[in-house]
Structure 1
Amino acid sequence: MYCATKFAVAGLTELCAAEVKDFGVQASGVYPGYFRTNFLTAGSLGTPQHALAAYQSVRESQAAHEQQTNGNQPGDPEKAAATLLQLSKAAQQLVHLFLGADVYQMAEQKITTVQHNLQQWQAVAAAIRFTEA
C-alpha cells in the first residue's frame, strides 16, 4: 500500500508539473532512499493483528526492514532536509528528485527494466495502427 501510494503521488506530481508549467508553477516529486529516521521502528509501523498466511513474504520483508535495515540506513536526514531547501530555492525545479545514493541504484534498475520491456515488444506494439479498409 505504501509503495502504491508513493507511485500514485509521483504520477500525479509529474502530470501536475506538465499541466501548470504554462502558468509559471513548478512541481517536484521526491524519491527518497533509506534515511536514518524512526520510520522503520516498530512504533511507526502498523501491522495486522491477524496476519494472513498468503502474505508471509510481505511479513518477512517487513521483519527484515525492522531488524536489518532500521538503524543502518545510509541517508542522513539533516542533509536531505538541506537538499530539499536548496531545491526549493532553485529557479528551475526538478520534476524528479532522487534523494540518496541508494535510490540511484533502484532507479537505474527500473530504467533498465523499462528499456528492456520497450525493446522486447516494440516491433509488435508499435505496429498497432488504424488502417483504412
Structure 2
Amino acid sequence: MSKVWFITGASRGIGREVARAALAAGDMVVATARNPQQVEAAFPGEADRLLALSLDVTEEGQSQAAVDAAVARFGRIDVLVNNAGFGQLGAFEEVGAEDIVRQYGTNVFGLFNVTRAVLPVMRRQRAGRIFNLSSMGGTKGFAGASVYCSTKYAVEGYSESLALEVAEFGIRVTIVEPGFFRTDFLDGSSVRYGSKVIEDYVPSSTARRAAYDQYSHRQAGDPAKLGRALVTLAGAAEPPLRYAAGTDALEGIAATLTARLEELERWRSLSASTDIVESAA
C-alpha cells in the first residue's frame, strides 16, 4: 500500500532527497517549503502524486493550513518528516539573543507546530510514522555550535518522550541523527554565524569558520542515500527510536556514549551518596 508523506524543508538538501526517494517508491508526497516553486521545479511531471505547499514552520497557522490541504488532497498522512531547520554557529557569547530566538523558532518550535497539526490525523488513523531530524550534534556537543546543539538536544528529549505518549495510537517516532551530509548546511545560503565580535574568541572562531568553509559541499554523507534509508525505515515493522546516519555519526555517537558510561562509573559512589538513608526501625 502506498504511503502519504508530509515533508518540511523540502526545497533542497535532505528534505528534497527524502521526497525524491518517496516518489521513487511509488508514494504520494506533500512537500512543503517557504518557496514551493523550487519544489515543483525539482520534480517536473509529478503533479498527480506531489503537492507542493508554502510553509513557514514558525507560523503555527500555516502548519495547520498545510496539514488540512494535505488531507483534503490525499485523505491521510502516513509519514511526517520534520526536516526544516538551519545551523546557528558561533560561540555562545558571539550569538545575540534575537538569533537564538530565531534558531529555536525554526528548529524546535517549528517542529512542534507541524507535529501538533499532524498528530490528530495520525491518531484518527491509529497509525503513523514521525521522523524528527536531529543531528549527531543532538548527542554530543561541538565547540562553536552551542546554540545549534542545544536545539537538537531539545528535539531528542521531546521526541523520546513523544514516542512514549503516542505509541498506544500506533504512531512510531524515530529520531534521525545525521553526521555531515553534502548539502547547503555549511553554505552561506543556510548557515549563520554569531554577529558579535569578542576578541578572546576571534582566533578559535576564525579557525572553525575557515574549516567549515573548506568542508562545505565536501561532506561524506550522501543525502540521496539518506532519503532512501528513511523510505526503508518507514516500511520497517519495528523502526528504531534513534537512527544514526553516516559513519561519522556512528563513530562520534559511539565514542560519546562510551565516555558517558565511563564517567558514570567513575562517579558512581558520589552519585549514590545523595540518597536518603532511612534508619532501621
Q: TM-score, normalization: structure 1?
A: 0.88
Q: Which has the higher contact order (CA 8 A, sep 6+)?
A: 1
Distance in 2 between residues matched to 1:87 and 1:31, nearest whole Å: 14
Partner of 2:181: 35
Distance in 2 between residues matched to 1:65 and 1:96, nearest whole Å: 26
Distance in 2 between residues matched to 1:37 and 1:119, nearest whole Å: 39
Matched, 1:129 2:275: yes
Work out which of the residue numbers 85, 91, 102 in structure 1 matches 2:248: 102
Partner of 2:32: none
More strand by share: 2
Distance in 2 between residues matched to 1:19 and 1:55, nearest whole Å: 42
Work out which of the residue numbers 42, 55, 61 in structure 1 matches 2:208: 61
Identity in percent: 33
For residues 47-102 of structure 1, the C-alpha deviation after alignment (integer angstroms, 9 at most, x for no partner) is 344422243324432321112x2122111110011101111121212110001111
Distance in 2 between residues matched to 1:11 and 1:58, nearest whole Å: 29
Partner of 2:237: 91
C-alpha RMSD of matched pairs (Å)? 1.7
Distance in 2 between residues matched to 1:47 and 1:129, nearest whole Å: 44
Distance in 2 between residues matched to 1:50 and 1:121, nearest whole Å: 38
Q: TM-score, normalization: structure 2?
A: 0.44
CA pair 50-83 structure 1, distance change in 2 beyond 3 A: same
Distance in 2 between residues matched to 1:113 and 1:59, nearest whole Å: 29
For residues 21-48 of structure 1, the C-alpha deviation after alignment (integer angstroms, 9 at most, x for no partner) is 2332211101001111111112222234
Structure 1 gap ranges (5+): none
Distance in 2 between residues matched to 1:58 and 1:3, nearest whole Å: 16
Equivalent pairs, count: 132
Structure 2 gap ranges (5+): 1-146
- Tell me, what secondary structure is at the counterpart of 2:227? helix
- Tell me, what secondary structure is at the counterpart of 1:19? helix
More helix by share: 1
Matched, 1:120 2:247: no
- After TM superposition, which residue ranges in structure 1, 4 or more long, deviate above 4 angstroms? none
